[in-house]
Amino acid sequence: MELRKEYFADERKDDLKEIGQPRLRSDALGHVTGTTTFFADRNLPGLLHLKMVRSPHHHARIRAIDLSEAGRHPGVVRILTADDVPHNVYTILTLIQVGPEDETVLATDKVRWKGEAIVAILADSERAAHEAAERVKVDYEVLPAVLSIDEALAPGAPIVNEYHGQNYYRYDSGESRKVRFGDVEAGFAGADHILEQTYGSGPIEHAPTETTGCIVVPEGSGRYTCYTNTQAMFFTLDNTSIILQMDGAKLHMVGGTVGGGFGGKVDVIVEPIAILGAKLTGRPVSFIYSREEEMQISSPRAAEKLVIKDGVMRDGRIVARYVKAYIDAGAYSRHSPYGAQKSAAHFPGPYTVPNVWVDSHCVYTNRTPSSAMRGFGVTIGDFALEVQMDKLARLVGMDPLEFRFVNAYRDGDMKAHRQPTEGAALIECMQEAARASNWPVSEKYLQMSSARREG
Amino acid sequence: MAMRQGRGVAAVNYPTGMNLGGDPTQALVHSTPTGNFMVSLSSVDLGQGMKQIMAQICAETIGVPTDRVIVDTADTDTGPHCMGTFASRGTHRAGNAVIAAAREARQVMLEVAAEELEVNASDLDTDGAGNIHVRGAPQRSISIFDTALSAHFKRGRSISGRGMFLIPRSYPDAETGAMKPSTCYAHACTVAEVEVDDETGEVNVLTVKNIFEIGRALNPKMVEQQLVGGSWMGISHALYETTEPYYPSREHGGRDFNEYLMPGPGDLAQTEVIVLERPAADGPYGAKGPGEMCANPQIPAIANAIFDAVGVRIDTLPITPERILRALKANGTENAGLVAH
């Protein structure tokens, strides 16, 4: 790595003593010698193991659940169903007033995705819990499922999630979060070229080394200590308090070093049910995802579909940008309404475009709920935007890097969401990229500055 | 049938912190009679090294070496509230809270030292090595250890501070989308070089040159580890990863690392990272949050490089050999549509 101090040198004092120093991180030795403690490094007498019975169907009505055989299985201590969960229908973002509650902790009358949790087995060993889970008999009436964004939004599509009433999240702005800036139609009318393209992506797994999990210990004080690898301690505590209708003062969340998060440990899935298990049995409970659960059950990055339509002039200026973004939330909201909203704020990217129209949709399908992942709402949008930029450059016969200089945002430029640009540095990154990769760029672009426009 | 080379570029920005704000974090700092400082938080270290960065921020602000600072975090009993570690917010939000707490603690520390040295607190400065001295007269000094002892046993003062950082929540206008999503943005530009086998569709990423503008590199070595790791993740997103290879079909989903494709060490490109620093007005020592952004620009840069190499556009991620071969076939001949850079 190289620090290029000559850029923005007049905006920075490099006279600090600790900041800017490449100090050895205090936890490095523990990590590389395998002595760092993670939440699962606990051996507790009487520990119970929690295993979920999960839906084999994308969408089905539950007619009946027969626990008799599972309950008799050796080693089984307790089986939890929806009736045991005090506040069974919840949504994570209720803490920031993003509703409605739309997800069951344990399924009641329906399952809405393949893998949805229905019944929790608590047993003396992992093996007993696995075996008992296979002995739970669920009688399903399979329902038609919608598996893609297009199917979900087609007229007459089956409703994925009745708590929403339609297969998309309804914002105060309607079926999408909207950004309207300038007059996009006038922009297209005056453009030399118009290019409309569609982009897509599949779901992506966080792939942390350490899978999601927690160990709960009921304390003599009547409190519950939950050793967890959550990325957000109080998010977990507050949601658990709501789901279990338990005074937050009874909950003690203890984290530590997490073996990789990437957004996959922001959902609150394992802790509430494990704490409930500890409460109802009086014994410590471990609920740790298998690798298969981490990959197919825990929320992935959402699949996305983006339609981008641009109007561009022969000289390379983008004069209008229209974006329709669709985020496949799967069966439940989790963090996806937030992600779609973040996506709306991000367009049209780091470029100054006078006419912008954005509709960003959060769409429900009968799939594993997607949620937070490193850059969600932006990562796939940037893929689409930057491939589109390459296509536009070639369309007008310009070099792709020079084309970006023409359109790059600068300090003071008004963004589509109506905030003036501050602290821009795209131009300088591109100048340095041209230098580092010997990418030939006209001198006038190398003279540009993010801080001011020339002339 | 040939190996074809191409290169592509992409440029991006990324907001720091929870979208639309409203995501507070608090910090507490206190000295112990050993002259060490304790930072109490409830933020989570995800392995990115948050504890180390908070220690350096506290040390810089108080004026002591970093190894004099201990960070206790991720405990809801002992740490004040933090929204969590996500949205590229950890360093920015918690760092600002630590600065505020450390400033308050430093002020008490200087007041106690001033009483011991019989001068005004405003005339004192720290040397960064564990001592407080009169500005311009370094021989008139007291160690921070002695200052901590004096505060506790003699002066009855608590060298401590409270810190809070909150960006008030912004609510988007329903009609226009007018809103304030973030207060500062990190930037990046990536140039990728690839080699594509037009017989197998396989892509070999040869080099990735990343330029990142991150406000301030608080610890350059840790910046490097995060940016290099992010760059690898970007390559992985571009060419390999998905839980549903034939989305929207739910078949063929990977269940373990044998089935879920990711690049191995031999698949990783020669990676270069160059860092620029334009301090953010509200960043802790100017820092922005590049934790998420650093995995983004490689994806389109590689997609554009593949087009440059073989003249096909793969507009759906991941860009698998199968998708490339199908596109080449649809193009008529493998050599059609080549556009030289």
The CATH number for B70's domain is 3.30.365.10
Interface mutation vs chain A, best among B48, B89, B189, B256, most A CBs within 10 Å: B189
Quick one: B11 and B57 in the same domain? Answer: no
Beta-carbon-side half-sphere exposure of residue B3 (alpha carbons within 13 Å)? 7
Residue range A87-114: mean pLDDT, rounded: 96
Amino acid A256: pLDDT: 85
- In terms of domains, do B157 and B240 share one? no
Which of A383, A441, A449 is the best substitution to test chain B (most B C-beta atoms within 10 A)?
A: A383
- Which of B60, B315, B320 to mutate against chain A (most A CBs within 10 Å)? B315
**B136 and B228 inside one domain:** no
User: Tens of pLDDT along A359-399?
Assistant: 999 999 999 999 999 999 999 999 999 999 999 999 999 99
pLDDT in the model for residue B332: 65
Q: How confident is the model at residue A314, as a pLDDT?
A: 98
Structure-block tokens of residue B63: 């004026």
Task: Please report, for chain A, the start and end positions of each structural domain, with discontinuous segments joined by +.
Answer: 48-142+207-296, 177-204+300-409
- pLDDT above 70 covers a percentage of chain A that reads 100
pLDDT in tens, A117-167: 999 999 999 999 999 999 999 999 999 999 999 999 999 999 999 999 999
**Last residue of a domain, which of B107, B138, B165?**
B165
In chain B, how many H helices and how many E strands? 6, 12
Across the interface, whether the CB atoms of A257 and B45 are under 8 A apart is answered: yes
8 Å CB contact of A22 and B220: yes
Taking the CA of residue A371 and the nearest CA in chain B, the distance in Å comes to 12
The candidate with the shortest Cα–Cα distance to A430, out of B142, B103, B131, B11, is B11
- Do B244 and A304 contact (CB within 8 A), yes or no? no
CA distance A228 to A368: 22
Beta-bridge partners for A360: A177, A325
CA A433 – CA B9 distance, rounded (Å): 9
A363: chain B residues, CB-CB within 8 Å: none
Give the three-state DSSP class for B108. Answer: helix
Q: Are residues B134 and B232 in the same domain?
A: no
341 residues of chain B, pLDDT tens digit each: 799 999 999 999 999 999 999 999 999 999 998 889 999 999 999 999 999 999 999 999 999 999 999 999 999 999 999 999 999 999 999 999 999 999 999 999 999 999 999 999 999 999 999 999 999 999 999 999 999 999 999 999 999 999 999 999 999 999 999 999 999 999 999 999 999 999 999 999 999 999 999 999 999 999 999 999 999 999 999 999 999 999 999 999 999 999 999 998 888 899 999 999 999 999 999 999 999 999 999 999 999 999 999 999 999 999 999 999 999 999 865 444 444 33
Contact list, B280 vs chain A (CB under 8 Å)? 423
Q: Which residues of A touch B182 (CB under 8 A)?
A: 345
- In a domain, residue B130? The reply is yes
Domain boundary among B95, B130, B165: B165
Whether residue B170 lies inside any domain: the answer is no
Residue B192, CA distances (Å) to A144, A372, B40, B314 in order: 44, 27, 42, 16
Q: Compute the mean pLDDT over every residue in chain A, rounded to the nearest whole number.
A: 97
Please report whether residue B120 resides in a domain: yes
A114–B250: do the CB atoms touch at under 8 Å?
Answer: yes
**Mean predicted lDDT score pLDDT of chain B:** 95
User: If pLDDT is split at 50, 70 and 90, which confidence band does A454 have?
Assistant: confident
- CATH assignment of A48-142+207-296? 3.90.1170.50
Determine whether the interchain pair B274/A350 forms a contact, defined as Cβ–Cβ distance below 8 Å. no
Tell me what percent of the residues of chain A surpass a pLDDT of 90.
Answer: 98
Using the 8-state DSSP alphabet, how is residue A15 labeled? Answer: -
Question: Which residues in chain B have Cβ-Cβ distances shorter than 8 Å to A359?
Answer: none
Supply the pLDDT for residue B333.
53
Same domain, B138 and B160: yes
Instruction: Write the residue in B79, B181, B262 that is nearest to A417 by C-beta.
Output: B181
How far apart, in whole angstroms, are the C-alpha atoms of residue B331 and residue A307?
22
Answer yes or no: is B172 within a domain: no
Give how far A443 is from chain B: nearest CA, Å.
Answer: 18
Report the alpha-carbon distance of residue A407 to residue A312 in Å, rounded: 10
Report in angstroms the alpha-carbon separations of A428 from A7, A431, B124, B275, B285.
7, 5, 40, 11, 20
For residue A303, is pLDDT > 80?
yes
Q: What is the number of alpha carbons within 13 Å of residue B17 lying toward its C-beta?
A: 32
Q: Which domain holds residue B256?
A: 3-16+183-330
pTM of structure: 0.97
CB-based contact A379 B292, cutoff 8 Å? yes
Indicate whether B173 belongs to any domain. Answer: no
Residue B109, C-beta contacts closer than 8 angstroms, at least 6 positions apart: B31, B62, B132, B144, B147, B148, B151, B159
Looking at the fold, whether B151 and B258 belong to one and the same domain comes out as no
Q: Is residue B338 part of a domain?
A: no
Pick from B13, B63, B291: CB nearest A350: B13
| Residues B144 and B205 reside in one and the same domain | no
State the average pLDDT over residues A410-424. 98
Clarify whether residues B35 and B102 are in a common domain. Answer: yes
What is the spatial distance between Cα A18 and Cα A16, in angstroms, rounded to a whole number?
Answer: 6
Inter-residue contact A52 to A80 (CB < 8 Å) = no
Last residue of a domain, one of B114, B137, B165: B165
| pLDDT of amino acid B334 | 44
| CA dihedral angle for residue A34, residue A40, residue A41, residue A44, rounded to 10 degrees | -170
Whether B220 sits inside 8 A of A257 (CB atoms) is no
Domain count for chain B: 2
Residue A388 amino acid letter = Q
CB A305 within 8 A of CB A197: no
Same domain, B192 and B302: yes
Q: Are B74 and A287 in contact (CB under 8 A)?
A: no
CA A223 to chain centre: 31
**Which CATH number applies to A177-204+300-409: 3.30.365.10, 3.20.20.70, 3.40.50.1820, 3.30.450.20?**
3.30.365.10
b/e burial code for range A139-161 (CB count within 10 A of at least 16 → b): ebeebebbbbbebbbeeebebbb
Instruction: Give burial (CB, 10 Å; 0-12/13-18/19+) of A306.
Output: buried
Nearest CB among B14, B233, B273 relative to A1 is that of B273
State residue A189's pLDDT score.
98
The Cα angle at residue A153 between residues A151 and A158, in degrees rounded to 5: 65
Query: Are B154 and B193 in a shared domain?
Result: no
Q: What is the mean pLDDT of residues A185-199?
A: 98
Q: Do A345 and B20 touch (CB under 8 A)?
A: yes
Inter-chain CB proximity B260 and A422 less than 8 Å: no
**Position A199 pLDDT exceeds 70:** yes
